[in-house]
Structure 1
Amino acid sequence: MIHSLTRHMPALAALAALLIPGTAAAHPHIFAEARLEVETSANGQIAELRHVWRFDEVFSSSVMLDFDRNGNFELDREELASISEVVTDSLKDFDYYTSLTVNGGDMDIELPEAIKVAFQDGQLLMFFAVLPKQPLPMSGTIAIGVFDPTMYAALDFMTDDDMVVTGAGAKKCASQVVRPDPDEVIAQNQGSLTEAFFNEPTGNDLSKLFATRLELDCK
């Protein structure tokens, strides 16, 4: 579906590049302000990870114009549904740009429903929730990062208040927002970064090292 659309819709090429790793970029071309809520349950488990992404006005306008099939400079329900379909199908193979680890080990996640899309105040919004694939007790060190492995899009958490723990178990764990220093990351991983880039420039997740993440320290 994406290939047929991008042949005659220029902004969809950018949308596809945002969603499908395979187009390497040295720096971001698309920007979004992000919010993450880690919802917890009364029985001390991570219930779901709730995301909200608000994209920059230039990219939002391009997508709006290309999906505005009736030319009324608005996105109606059917047009928003088309965007949602492209986004949901494309991100599923890449864990919806969500990294979830427990004590350093990766945990599988799944999307419970389609990604919702809205257009407000000239900006494209996407909001959705992902679930741990297996029950996830709040124990040990849990880290949640949000990043585009191609580095084509920058998902920025503008303040630490944009990454929060909510729900009945919110006070069970201490939490902090970690914002890695790029210079320190490069200095500490110079060898592996260089090797990974030259061996597989479009198929690695090096951006995980640079991504802002929320860490929970659960006793």
Structure 2
Amino acid sequence: MTPTARTFALRACTAAAFLAICTPSASAHPHIFADARLEIETDAKGNIAELRNVWRFDEVFSSSVVMDFDTNKNATMDPDELHRVAQVVTESLADFNYFVSLTDNGKDIKVAPPKAMVANYDDGQLLLIFAVEPAQTVKLGGMVKVGIYDPTMYTAIDFMNDGDLVVTGPDAAKCGTQVVRPDPDEVLEQNQASLTEAFFNDPAGTDLSKLFATRIELDCK
């Protein structure tokens, strides 16, 4: 089976699926690691305009990208190969809201597919750069929360510094912001009734894995 065929056969494995290196029985803990940056761009009307993402993947995972997508076998990633990576990732993450958790005063908001995704290969690591827009208007009022997480918990998206989650644009100063890094032990203790065996077997089916995700909260008066 070719990498592309395995990709869609294992679609539920999200980010790992596009490289066909995971299995359907994978346990609920990270196998892929990425350092991330998130910019929440605002507009002059007091809305969230887009969410700008940069993900830099670990070297082990990145090397597997080269093995699967280096079609001319020159041990690097050429522009056409990187374009194919970006295409497959865009398709694979569509069912998972592109790993975006966006809530507007408690209401979950979907995002539209990125107009473009750029893949790069730099110093032995894969980078993905893309922006998504809320599928409906999100005004900067009340409490808005934004996080990036893989609902299957196969990929760990990490923000090394609080400064990697920022609000930009004309209305950036309208809201107070706080970066929240949940303590896993506290999450488990506070949600024992919800975190059942089904969650650990299929976290994507419960949507509770976002409780563990680092997020930025916008408190807008």
Mark yes or no: TM-score above 0.5.
yes
How many aligned positions are there?
215
Q: In the alignment, is residue 15 of structure 1 matched against residue 16 of structure 2?
A: yes
Identity of aligned residues (%): 60
The one of 75, 78, 98 equivalent to 1:76 is 78
Deviations 1:85-134 (A, max 9, x none): 11000101110000100111111211241321110111000011110112
SS of 1:138's equivalent in the other structure is: coil
Higher alpha-carbon deviation: 77-86 or 163-172: 77-86
Q: Please say if residues 185 and 210 of structure 1, whose CA atoms lie closer than 8 Å, have aligned partners that are also in contact.
A: yes
Measure, in 1, the Cα distance between the counterparts of 2:195 and 2:31. 21
Runs of 5+ unmatched residues, structure 1: none
The more displaced of 194-203 and 37-46 is 194-203
User: Secondary structure of the equivalent of 1:44?
Assistant: coil
Q: Show the counterpart of 1:189.
A: 191
Measured after TM superposition, the shift of residue 197 of structure 1 is: 2.4
Residue 212 (structure 1) aligns with = 214
Verify the 8 A CA contact 2:48 2:138 in the aligned structure 1. Answer: yes
Once the 2 structures are TM-superposed, how far is the Cα of residue 64 of structure 1 from its aligned partner? 1.1
Aligned match of 2:205 = 203
Letter in 1 for 2:17: A
Aligned to 1:119, which of 106, 116, 121? 121
Does structure 2 conserve the Cα–Cα contact (< 8 Å) formed by 1:50 and 1:130?
yes
SS of 1:180's equivalent in the other structure is coil
Instruction: Give, in whole Å, the separation in 1 of the partners of 2:166 and 2:131.
Output: 14
TM-score (norm 2): 0.88
CA distance in 2, matches of 1:55, 1:198: 24
Structure 1 position 171 matched with structure 2 position 157: no
- Residue equivalent to 1:61: 63
Measured after TM superposition, the shift of residue 208 of structure 1 is 0.3
In structure 1, C-alpha distance between the alignment counterparts of 2:172 and 2:14, rounded to whole Å: 40
Aligned to 1:26: 28
Residue of structure 2 equivalent to 1:162: 164
Counterpart in the other structure of 2:99? 97
Consecutive unaligned residues in structure 2, runs of 5 or more: none
CA contact (8 A) 1:32 1:54 kept: yes
Q: CA deviation at 1:181?
A: 0.8
Quote the Cα distance in structure 1 between the aligned partners of 2:201 and 2:83.
Answer: 38
Match for residue 136 of structure 1?
A: 138
Contact between 2:177 and 2:216, CA under 8 Å: does it hold in 1?
Answer: yes
Shift of 1:73: 1.3
Structure 1 residues 209 and 16, CA, compared in 2 at 3 Å: closer, same or farther? same
Distance (Å, rounded) in 2 between the aligned partners of 1:157 and 1:70: 34
Q: Which residue of 1 aligns with 2:90?
A: 88
Match of 1:171, as an amino acid? A
Q: Secondary structure at the match of 1:191?
A: coil
Pairwise CA RMSD: 2.6
1:4 equivalent to 2:5? Answer yes
- Alignment CA distance shift 1:204-1:122 (3 Å): same
TM-superposed deviation, 1:5: 4.7
